Amino acid sequence: MLLVLDSSIGTSVAVVDLERGVIAERGEADTMRHAEVVGALIRDVLAEAGVTVDELSGVVAGMGPGPFTGLRIGIAAARVFALGAGKPLVPMVSHDAIAADWYEAGGTGELLVVTDARRRERYYSTYSDADTRVQGPALAKPDDLPEAANRVDATSVSAGALGMVAERRYAAGLPFPADEPLYLRSPDVTLSAGPKRVTA
Amino acid sequence: MNTDNPLVLGIETSCDETGIGIVRGRELLSNTIASSMDEHARYGGVVPEVAARAHLEAIVPAIHEAVAEAGISLHDLDAIAVTSGPGLSGALMVGIGAAKALAVSLDKPLYAVNHLVGHVGADILDPAGDAFEYPTVALLVSGGHTSLLLVRDLVSNVELLGETIDDAAGEAFDKVARVLGLPYPGGPQIDRVAASGDPKAIRFPRGLTLPKDLEKHRYDFSFSGLKTAVARWVEKKRDDGDEVPVADVAASFREAVADVLLTKAIAACHDYDVPRLLLGGGVVANARVRELAAERAQAAGVQLRIPPLSLCTDNGAMIAELGAQLIMNGHAPSTLDFPADSSLPVTEIQVR
């Protein structure tokens, strides 16, 4: 049984199990309220699932890609929850949840997953099936996105779906990505060219 | 929960220090700090995104280190405390997300507290003697804040007397250091070169000290004009082809900052008839600020307290201690719903 947190777009929290599926899932779509809602969402999802912290076998963190400020909150919460619970952290690529949803709904073939990266750019990943990411996650201008037979422009990530991908990967003995936030951009900062004159 | 001597872990991420502190009642068990200052040095100031990224990487190792140093288990904790403001939003949110998750994972109460009031509470942990009684005047000076507070009671009555209306004092040190070609952070650099300079060589302006300004801004500070005055003075020297007397400029600038800080702080002690002054914030590392504080306080018959530097700069121990004080005074925990508030007023000691 896994607790799953993803704040790569909104905030989504779930408890999942390989056999029982998604046991409970709650979310907040607002992309500006991650820090407010994350604590109560975890508490409420555990309560709804009727699962104690001790019963969990790990904590999944959606590592993005996603806008930095929100993304970090879910990762910080997942890492520290795992520490407090004494359970392993399971990093996952957030786009995998979007792809899993699409294939689950009957989609077949090649898929391009696209999410908003702000500043007129997009995050994208491509898949050949639900468990196989071929490209990405990466960052591109809308016109430079790769071609694919199918495309999903997602505005939410489901922690439930992400957790189920993690359960299947674990069961199949597939590797997990590194425990690193997928910012895909350097901090926005320019080196100072020295002090500016104050007199003309 | 142990309300007499609570074991509290405090999380502080309002600027560039990831601070994890652990206290038991009034006793300091760990004051663990991971600073991203070196990463900001090349930019000449704190870059919020760089600071926030560093918090995310530092927070778990810092909690491990603090718990090991304190010799406790996380399950022993009575409560968690976290800074919810004021500070850099993106940085605060890392600590808040972490604190909420820790509280839920351990099933412990959570206290969201005010960073500036935390600085006042740091005094309680000072191993050198008993903490101040209240009321006290507190002068908090750092790279992000310059605030003069009247603390009637740490957990229930803190009043903002004045604050900077533009740059923080620490920011002015950084900017003047840059004008003089000195590296970041500017405070220690200015201090170093000022040691051989004449503080009376150049009379730089003291912001908001003229009678007409004092009417509206008796306890407020302004350092933007001072910074510009120094830059103008240095540019004129350079334009005239003269050598800039760096030591004298640094000493005179530092004197102007220290003078206006202490003049206003001592005036507050006098006006409110409070013979106690507590200093906090990173700028108290400045040798001249400490020295002038001691001189002026003694002359005014005011008792002075300056906690050790590790408790004056941003840290998690002061946040843990403020949490412990709230618990010992019977305050209920915060909910899990509080936001980061970059401009949290000092009157909000705890956010529910």
Evaluate whether residue A24 is within a structural domain. Answer: yes
Going by pLDDT thresholds of 50, 70 and 90, the confidence category of residue B323 is: very high
Tell if the CB–CB gap between B93 and A83 is shorter than 8 Å. no
Q: Which residue has the tokens 């294939």?
A: A103
- What is the bridge-based pairing of β-strands A122-129 and A132-140? antiparallel
Q: Please check the confidence at residue B42 and state whether its pLDDT lies above 90.
A: no
Evaluate whether residue A13 is within a structural domain. Answer: yes
- Which 200-239 residues of chain B touch chain A by CB within 8 A? 228, 231-232, 235-236, 239
The verdict on whether residue B115 carries a ligand-binding annotation is yes
The verdict on whether residue B16 carries a ligand-binding annotation is no
In this structure, what CATH number is given to the domain that contains residue A74? Answer: 3.30.420.40
Chain A contact probe: residue of B100, B171, B173, B228 with most A CBs at under 10 A: B100
Instruction: Find the residue in B nearest to A75 (Cα).
Output: B56
Tell if the CB–CB gap between A198 and B228 is shorter than 8 Å. yes
Please give the share of chain B, as a percent, with pLDDT higher than 90. Answer: 93
CA distance to partner chain B, nearest, from residue A104 (Å): 31
Evaluate whether residue A77 is within a structural domain. Answer: yes
Give me the total of CB pairs closer than 8 Å, taking one residue from chain A and one from chain B.
133
pTM of the model: 0.96
Supply the pLDDT for residue A194: 72
Domains (ranges, CATH) in chain B? 7-125+311-351 (3.30.420.40), 136-306 (3.30.420.40)
Instruction: Say if CB A102 and CB A148 are below 8 A apart.
Output: no
Evaluate whether residue A152 is within a structural domain. Answer: yes
Evaluate whether residue A189 is within a structural domain. Answer: no
Q: Which residue has the tokens 């919810």?
A: B84
Going by pLDDT thresholds of 50, 70 and 90, the confidence category of residue B57 is: very high
Q: Please check the confidence at residue B1 and state whether its pLDDT lies above 90.
A: no
Taking CA atoms, B120 is separated from B150, B206, B309, in Å, by 10, 26, 13
pLDDT digits over B194-252, tens only? 999 999 999 999 999 999 999 999 999 999 999 999 999 999 999 999 999 999 999 99
Instruction: Find the residue in A nearest to B239 (Cα).
Output: A199
Profile chain A (200 residues) by mean pLDDT over runs of 10 residues. Answer: 98 98 97 97 98 98 97 98 98 98 96 97 96 96 97 98 97 96 90 77
Supply the pLDDT for residue A88: 98
Q: Based on the structure, what is the number of domains in chain A?
A: 1
Evaluate whether residue A181 is within a structural domain. Answer: no
Which residue range(s) make up the domain with A80? 2-171
CA distance B330 to B325: 9
Q: Is B96 on the interface with A (CB under 8 A)?
A: yes
Mean pLDDT confidence for B163-174? 95
CA distance B183 to B175: 10
Count of CB atoms situated within 10 Å of the CB of B123: 24
Beta bridge partners of A114: A124, A153
Evaluate whether residue A131 is within a structural domain. Answer: yes
Evaluate whether residue A196 is within a structural domain. Answer: no
Check residue B133 and report its DSSP letter: P
Supply the pLDDT for residue B273: 98
